[in-house]
Chain A
């Protein structure tokens, strides 16, 4: 059945009044909940719940971890600690590679700079090295920092 259009062109929605009441109720509820989570009592209650959970679950977690460790040992498989140690070493290697990458980038930049500088003609006495000057200037700049 087609809805009857109202004089302003919009059709009448029988659910609209219900929606308005619902939104009013949800706004009021939302505000009271925001006030509630902002209380010391709420902070204390959630803190106590988390603390109890951690205390109660700790022995089970430890027992499970020990059992898992023994199982992995018997199966000749690496434990989580072994994998973590390898991952940490990998990160260290990545850092060393990044250091090398930085040095290569620097060398490349210096080569480009040297290539851009005008070359001395044959028979001309070579000018004092600009590369050295740049390096020296940089050292002074770094020294200032």
Chain B
């Protein structure tokens, strides 16, 4: 009996805890480990194709393109081995592509939604079609990526888009009182032109501060307390390490896009009101005919459900579904429950529509 009990002296235990804490806070975790090949580049944008793990006969014929936000790294979709949406979808037999926007430099400060949706996306999709040999495809957009995919689907949806999946999509900005970001960026307090003139691109650190300041105690203190409490649980520590690597890897947001986001969307709700103009073309959500799955995170403090739900009644899609899942803005896809709730639901929905 006595042999089963491991007696650790308190000083050694505390030293081990501190060593683990230092390691996870000062090093980068091994993230984005799923093998992929680069098939297209333009400026900072890169299109990757993940190496399939199933033979062609067992794969779904319709390829899936993942489009993440502009101001965060897309490897949140392939966070770590054994807990990766990309890895999961490859095992379910999808031909998977990822559009990585990269980090804009000073020369990209004038890039707008117009450039991303009418230059970068159509070109990347053309390459995807050429490589896959299929004319139809599915799109998955998450966060700002969902704004991009919605605009693309409205303007170029007739160019082979069969399925559209929107995750935590900030599309409706009519409820300004319910949106903290809308309050912070109100024209009375926030001079967007002055900020863009000073910085060019919106620094990643400022965007990170904005996201964290929505829940300051949880993000600046609670997060580290949770780590300390669970520091002897290797699974929890590795998960925290990977997430911290992603959270601290900030990307600036192109000044032109930032201005459009604040002025056209947060302040004037132009997308849902059908007033958003992209290179002279009006973005009409009613022109979306693709099968649509909208995923709402019930605990999302960045994009509350009221921002994603109204699109359901505006699209012309005959086949559409709204799926609510417990979790936060990122947690629904990268949290511990993602592999049991969100991923299987997306797969179940998409598999039926990818034949």
Contact = CB atoms under 8 A, between A and B. Distances in A.
Interface in A86-125: 87-88, 91, 94-95, 98, 101-102, 105, 109
A47 B184 CA distance: 7
Contacts of B213: 37
How many B residues are at the interface, by size bracket?
A: 35 or more
Contacts, number: 86
B7 A2 contact: yes
A30 interface: yes
B233 interface: no
A34 B214 contact: yes
A145 B158 contact: yes
A104 B138 CA distance: 25
Contacts of B198: 54, 57-58, 61
A40 interface: yes
B248 interface: no
A51 interface: yes
A44 B127 CA distance: 47
B235 interface: no
Interface residues of A, number: 38
Interface string B61-103: 0000000000000000000000000000000000000000000
Given A44-B189, A46-B184, A37 B214 contact: yes
25 contacts: A2-B7, A22-B225, A26-B217, A26-B222, A26-B225, A33-B215, A34-B214, A37-B180, A40-B183, A42-B184, A43-B183, A43-B186, A47-B184, A47-B190, A50-B190, A51-B194, A54-B194, A61-B198, A91-B43, A91-B107, A95-B42, A95-B119, A95-B123, A102-B126, A105-B127
Interface of A: 2, 19, 22, 26, 29-30, 33-34, 37-38, 40, 42-44, 46-48, 50-51, 54, 57-58, 61, 80, 83-85, 87-88, 91, 94-95, 98, 101-102, 105, 109, 145
